[in-house]
Structure 1
Amino acid sequence: MNNPSTQVLSWIIAAVFFVCTKSVGADEMSTAGACERTVEMIITFDGERGFENFASSMKSMGDVISIDAINIPTTEVPDPCAGVTCGPNSSCDKGKCVCRTGYVVLSGVCVACEYDSTRETCFWISMTSVTYKSGERKCQEHGSSVAQVKNINDYNLIIEMLRPHHKFRARETYTNAWISGTVNPIARNSEDTMTQPLYSKWYPDGTYPKNPTTSRTHLALYTDKKGEDYEGMINQNPNKLMYGVVCSYNTMRM
């Protein structure tokens, strides 16, 4: 089977030959220079490689036909993002909405997310007054779960994320948010307090819960604008409203 470029050349030579035959006669075609005709043709190439093959073949056929100029028309490529409207914290890239750096898409919404040291977990915060159960549902709506604080790195990262959300209304200089975990509120040593093997740093002095009421079984983080000495974990009744909830998303599912 002939090379596509050779086929195109054969068609061009045949076209020139036909034009010359009609113009000067077949007998005169044997005379060198007897026929000089301009033939305009539109040829579609299969990508850049197709054009290179054609050009190479044309060079090899220089004694039969010559090309004065090759005009390659420019075609305006339509903008794939034209007419695409993206939501908050996202922008269009090649026709698709993608989250900006520091955000991940959760249930179609780009949410600010901070990665842990393994980059397998991404933490984000919903600052809406919620009980523990309603906060849990809030996380689940976005394919996430209430965040566990497994180590000091997780703790420092989440506390840093909470600080900008301090409440500055009358007499409220603090904020708080639910995290995952339950406690034995009447325990009096750090080993017996947590019911799961999670990291703990209790407010205010880092030892064990200061609220021994038996109903205060769930964990939350507390931070005050006064500084690091006024930050830590608290135990609270799960039916009480906290200012928000810390959620975690497993990035291995992305």
Structure 2
Amino acid sequence: MQLINLMCQDAEQDEVYLVQFVSDVRDTVEQDIRCAVDDYMRADGANQVLDWENFTWYEVRTHIPDDYWESQGFTPVHCGISVTITDIRDVVVDENEDLAVDILPKLQAQVEAAAAETEAKAIRTPDDLVQRLLAAGYSEEQGQMVVGLMTGQTDPETVPGVLEWLQQCFNPEWVRRLHDTMLEQALNQALAMHGVEAVRSDRVTQKDDPDITFLEAGDTYNLTLVKYEGDWYCTSLGDVLESIAGHRAIPGKVALTEPDVDPLANAGADSQPSLG
């Protein structure tokens, strides 16, 4: 077996950080390590690269998990090991070297292209949304109710089952003022779903609040309504999660235009505005 000493030098701080691996004997040690880091930045670590806009050897030694290194044939050494070492290799790198210089622009372009495709394929008419729900087995009445809720034409409290749910809340009057919560519950009742749930995409950590709200449809790939970053999507939860993870376009974005309200539309004959 081969012992690899990865030494990250910080010239500014006059410090060296040591990371050790055990692997099968290989001649291209530094090249193989750099290839493993490159693959990580393009896939599992892509979100980190996009958030931080760089990725140095500091991030390599502090954020790449052990199971990833092991999948690449490098076993991290954190304590005593019981193997026969036949070769020792030292790899010296600059702690502050930005390894994402070439990858970051490509990832950013991929994200921008995905966002553009999401918008281009968005559901923009009520009929398109209703037809999408009909294709999944929902009724015309349910589809029209969803359209009314999403365009603000239907009061969530008028949806059957919402008032009953509201009365079960600890403070109904306070909940009534939470527009998003009322809308979510109304959509859940309108489609006879199994509740409003939340989940984390891989854009957030387990320490963060869930960033996805969805209506439980019984199966991850059943069509439902999913809310992500303030937008609703008429698709499956699985499709949303996979699209986010792969930086691909998210299908089924609901982008209905709320109808313009004519202030004189409901005015009577005797309520014409006066001049002067």
Q: Same fold (TM over 0.5)?
A: no
**Pairwise TM-score range, normalised by the shorter structure:** under 0.3
Q: What TM-score do the two structures reach when normalised by structure 1?
A: 0.23
Larger radius of gyration: 1
